[in-house]
Structure 1
Amino acid sequence: MSSKSVADVANTEPEFKLVEHTCPNCGHQEMWVFYEVRDVPVHSCLMMPTRQEALDFPRGDVVLGYCENCGFITNTEFDSKWSAYAPNYEDQQSFSPTFNQFALDLANRLINKYNLRDKDVVEIGCSKGDFLVLMCELGNNRGVGIDPSAVVGRVQSPATERIRFIQDYYSEGYSEYVGDFICCRHTLEHIYPTAEFVGTVRRSIGNRPTSVFFEIPDMGRVLKDLAFEDIYYEHCSYFTPGTLARLFRASGFEVTDVYLAYGDQYLLIEGEPVSDLSGKIHPFEESPEEVKQDMKYFATHVQGKINHWKEHLKTAQEAGKRVVVWGSGSKCVAFLTTLKTENQVQYIVDINPHRHGQFIPGVGHEIMSPEFLKEYQPDEIIVMNPIYCAEIQKMLDEMGVSTELIPLS
């Protein structure tokens, strides 16, 4: 631990701590710690069969550090021994019409832009295979999906006859599966050695003209919107447009595009493998100094938002209101365990049928189906992701459930 004071970094509270910690993005040896959440579940999407198993789930600490050299943010207390993804890791989002439309539009755009018709598509971290199946359906492509949580047969489609699913973590051992296009959606944020991983992808491609596409959460939005619900243990790596682009260039990719999507929640990058970089900087990139300013804003103001939600739940409980959370995934787990108010929410609802009857790690609540609300008739529903409010309201209207929707952001 360094003896440097906060005055070296910022002129505002709270105090930041300079720690000796190697940045996994650029190798810099120091990071500034600016946010801590202790004793949180080390996974939020591993479904537990009983309440007791959910309550006894292993816990760890989130201690976010900022690298002044490249702007990258990571959990300095992350322990890779908890990276145990398996078929019971349930993160499938394709039961949402809103998300499905986004995925459809994205797949069509990538297919048209890269002429992915009758081609070979590889998806690293394919989860249950929804997007890879879509890419193969729409473009009559062949696919390989690599993910330890893959479930063969979960997604029904004639295109699955042209897809091979490999239940494993991606490594250079799978370099034979490169194809014409590599996509990797919502995986890089789960990987601690980020430079090593992207470098592995680049070495696997070699001299082949394989385009790459990655999609992850945007940390810039999290910092600006004080979105503490988007910070949880298995997300050990947090990117902004600039930190992501700098990593890809350092790994041997020419960055062809960087942009936001899905209500500006997702950060997307496209690139091409090259031997000689042009040095071109994408206009959407920000500097490490700009990330620092957003980091300082977050560190200074996030406790106010946390206190607001603590008071909201306390007031609702005292008034005897029936409070439900819609969305049982990582945002829900981070929201409740950060606030330490799990007992002030009665029920958790989710549209994913594979979650129903399962229990949330660290929280212990059973996940209910939306139909449960017909009988329960809650006074308010806290929506973990506001982008789903319209489709949720439509479902409630169809079920005859009259309640107040309160988006988290």
Structure 2
Amino acid sequence: MNIAASVAADAGQLIAACPSCGGGSLAQIYAQDDVPVSSCLLFDDADSARQVERGDISLCHCEGCGFIFNAAIRQGASEYSERYEETQGFSPTFSGFHTALARELIERHELRGREVLEIGCGKGEFLLLLSQLGENRCTGIDPSALPERIEGIEGAERVTLIPEFFAPELARQQFDAIVCKMTLEHIVPTLDFLRIVRAGIVEGSRPLVFFQIPNAMRILQDAAYEDIYYEHCSYFTEGSLARLFEQAGFAPLRVLHQYDDQYLTIEATVGDAPVFKAADDREEIARLAASLADRIATKQAAWADRIEAAITAGRKVAIWGSGSKAVSFLAAQPRPELVGAVVDINPNRQGHAMPGTGHAILSPHDLASFRPDLVIVMNAVYRDEIAHDLSALGLSPEIVTLEN
């Protein structure tokens, strides 16, 4: 069973039961039709980028466990292949966070010279850190993995990347740590997936189980529609995440809010352990979910007006960031063509086109000739880094984030 590629809905059908608890008390809280099903694919030209496959979002809230998911997801619609480019490691801000995270896990859990599995490893950057900092032997699996990209890098001799979807037999080896970062949100049958991981743990072993996901409570509180997109079909708060892990047979140890509250990380194990008890946040989830659609509509209209006003005043508008947030942001714009430039620090994305709108992805240096008057930063955590880069280019545009 290819669990990472399996979902429960076919075209025209909605998922009728919660994938995390099986409950049927569901409420639709937000919908958006005709959005790109793949946000991080590399397209060679604008025409092919505009022809990206599209799908619908129908976010449903489970009143029983608090889980939120896209009930309109279609099996196999999103493409995860060598064309998928999600790397954030070219940002000094992210690289610093990533390195600190790896070092903290190594120290806290004595991960030195151990066997580590990462499910959904991307291009293997985190495994490289675990190898470099702890001399761990690491196996990563991801259909978008590019083993050749890490060849010759320090620590790569202890890292094996498998460019495939996760399969249950891979969990039936003995590992000291099982890592899964920014992957669970791409999987609909969340409980089934975690039960497969749990069943694969060798009897008598007690590995660290470490997952990282987006923080859905922040999305709900901020009506952060840029963080709602087709690839992300599953949304967790601290409480719904801890409840899922317990139901799947794990013992949660702690849940942390990280990266300016954008990420949740959960550390768990199996067997007897001082189980972490998250606060019951179901009432708060329900309250925020009930008003989500209206609050998103207000924010989307405000951004459309702001961009149009800038253009009317003769100002040039650029957005910084070409990944999933940018795809979602532009998909919600009634006139996305008013955005004159999209820039990204990742050189692997530069020269390609944005899924959906076909915007060319520029390098920061390309902005020197475009000379924007207004730069909209897709992720506020990078604002200071971007301001520094713009200043180094001799540019002084107004810089805003989606939060202001």
The interval holding the TM-score normalised by the smaller chain is over 0.9
Letter in 2 for 1:270: E
1:39 — aligned with what? 34
CA RMSD of aligned residues (A): 1.4
2:229 — aligned with what? 232
In 1: Cα distance, 2:139 partner to 2:335 partner: 42
In 2: Cα distance, 1:77 partner to 1:87 partner: 26
Percent identity, aligned pairs only, is 43
1:117 — aligned with what? 112
2:3 — aligned with what? none
TM-score, normalising length: structure 1: 0.92
Verify the 8 A CA contact 1:199 1:251 in the aligned structure 2. Answer: yes
2:200 — aligned with what? 204
Pick one of 146, 165, 175 that aligns with 1:151.
Answer: 146
Letter in 2 for 1:353: P
Verify the 8 A CA contact 1:21 1:30 in the aligned structure 2. Answer: no
In 1: Cα distance, 2:329 partner to 2:24 partner: 31
TM-score, normalising length: structure 2: 0.93
Pick one of 257, 262, 265 that aligns with 1:260.
Answer: 257
Question: Could you say if the C-alpha distance between residues 204 and 333 of structure 1 is closer, same or farther in structure 2, counting changes exceeding 3 Å?
Answer: same
In 2: Cα distance, 1:86 partner to 1:132 partner: 19
1:319 — aligned with what? 313
In 2: Cα distance, 1:157 partner to 1:133 partner: 8
In 2: Cα distance, 1:341 partner to 1:36 partner: 20
Verify the 8 A CA contact 1:249 1:277 in the aligned structure 2. Answer: no
- Match of 2:210, SS state, is strand
1:373-392 residue pairs with structure 2 within 5 A?
A: 373-392=367-386
Verify the 8 A CA contact 1:171 1:200 in the aligned structure 2. Answer: no
Letter in 2 for 1:111: I
Give the unaligned 5+ runs of structure 2: 1-13
1:101 — aligned with what? 96
Letter in 1 for 2:184: L
Pick one of 127, 135, 142 that aligns with 1:132.
Answer: 127
Verify the 8 A CA contact 1:56 1:362 in the aligned structure 2. Answer: yes
More displaced, 177-186 or 356-365? 177-186
Are 1:333 and 2:344 counterparts?
no
Are 1:288 and 2:282 counterparts?
yes
Deviations 1:104-127 (A, max 9, x none): 110010000110011111111000
Are 1:173 and 2:169 counterparts?
yes
1:17-56 residue pairs with structure 2 within 5 A?
A: 21-56=16-51
Are 1:92 and 2:87 counterparts?
yes
Runs in 1 of length 4+ with deviation above 6 angstroms?
none
Are 1:307 and 2:297 counterparts?
no
Residue 277 of structure 1 and its aligned partner are, at CA, apart by 7.7
- Match of 2:155, SS state, is helix
Residue 38 of structure 1 and its aligned partner are, at CA, apart by 0.7
Residue 161 of structure 1 and its aligned partner are, at CA, apart by 0.9
Residue 30 of structure 1 and its aligned partner are, at CA, apart by 3.4
Question: Could you say if the C-alpha distance between residues 277 and 209 of structure 1 is closer, same or farther in structure 2, counting changes exceeding 3 Å?
Answer: closer
In 2: Cα distance, 1:95 partner to 1:249 partner: 36
Deviations 1:160-209 (A, max 9, x none): 11111111111212124441001110000001110111111111114221
Verify the 8 A CA contact 1:20 1:29 in the aligned structure 2. Answer: no
- Match of 1:268, SS state, is strand
Are 1:403 and 2:400 counterparts?
no
Give the unaligned 5+ runs of structure 1: 1-18
Deviations 1:261-317 (A, max 9, x none): 00000011000012x687x4524x333222101212323422111111011111112
